[in-house]
Amino acid sequence: MRIASATLLLPLQVYGFHLFGAANQLGSLLKGFSSEEPCLIKLGPNQYELVTEEQKFKYRRENIKFIDVTSHVSIEEAVSQGMIVGPVQESMLQQLLTIGSKQLKSIEKPAKYQYPSEAQQEKLVSPLFPDISIDSMRENLGNFTSFFNRFFKSETGLESAIWLQGTINDIVSPVAVEKGVTVTPFHHDKWDQFSIIVSIPGKNKSKSGKGNIVVIGSHQDSVNLLFPNLMRAPGADDDGSGTVTCLEALRLIIGQYNSGDFVPENTLEFHFYSAEEGGLLGSIDVFTSYKNAGEKVVAMLQQDMTGYTARVADNGVEPHMGLIVDYTSPELNNFVKLMIDTYCDIPYHETNCGYACSDHASASENGYPSSFVIESEMKLSNNYIHSILDTIDRIDWEHVKEHVKLTVGFAVELSSTKITDA
pLDDT in tens, 182-210: 999 999 999 999 999 999 999 987 666 78
Q: Are residues 80 and 123 in the same domain?
A: no
Compute CA 244 distance to the chain's CA centroid, rounded to the nearest angstrom: 12
Question: Which of 99, 126, 160 corresponds to the end of one domain?
Answer: 99
* CATH number of residue 322's parent domain: 3.40.630.10
Distances in Å between the Cα of 95 and the Cα atoms of 56, 89, 99, 101, 209 are 17, 10, 6, 10, 37
Q: What integer is the mean pLDDT of 375-386?
A: 98
User: Do residues 287 and 297 make contact, with C-beta atoms less than 8 angstroms apart?
Assistant: yes
**How much is the pLDDT for 85?**
65
Cis previous bond, 239, omega within 30: yes
Q: Are residues 185 and 331 in the same domain?
A: yes
Q: Are residues 122 and 36 in the same domain?
A: no
Q: What is the pairing mode between strands 420-421 and 39-44?
A: unpaired
Is residue 107 domain-resident?
no
Q: Are residues 175 and 283 in the same domain?
A: yes
The per-residue pLDDT for range 99-124, each reduced to its tens digit, is 444 443 445 678 899 999 999 999 99
User: Do residues 121 and 196 make contact, with C-beta atoms less than 8 angstroms apart?
Assistant: no
Q: What integer is the mean pLDDT of 308-331?
A: 98
Is residue 74 domain-resident?
yes
Domain that holds residue 262: 113-421
Question: Which of 99, 121, 153 corresponds to the end of one domain?
Answer: 99
Q: Are residues 78 and 163 in the same domain?
A: no
Nearest-angstrom CA–CA distance, 90 and 129:
58
Q: What integer is the mean pLDDT of 89-108?
A: 53
Please count the structural domains in the chain: 2
Query: pTM, whole model, 2 decimals?
Result: 0.89
Question: Which of 99, 133, 154 corresponds to the end of one domain?
Answer: 99
DSSP 213: E
Q: Which of 73-82, 88-97, 165-174 has the weakest average pLDDT?
A: 88-97
Q: Are residues 88 and 134 in the same domain?
A: no
Q: Are residues 387 and 266 in the same domain?
A: yes
The per-residue pLDDT for range 26-69, each reduced to its tens digit, is 334 334 434 567 888 999 988 888 888 889 999 999 999 999 99
Residues 6 or more apart from 371 whose CB is under 8 A from it?
Answer: 299, 300, 301, 302, 323, 324, 328, 329, 332, 333, 335, 336, 360
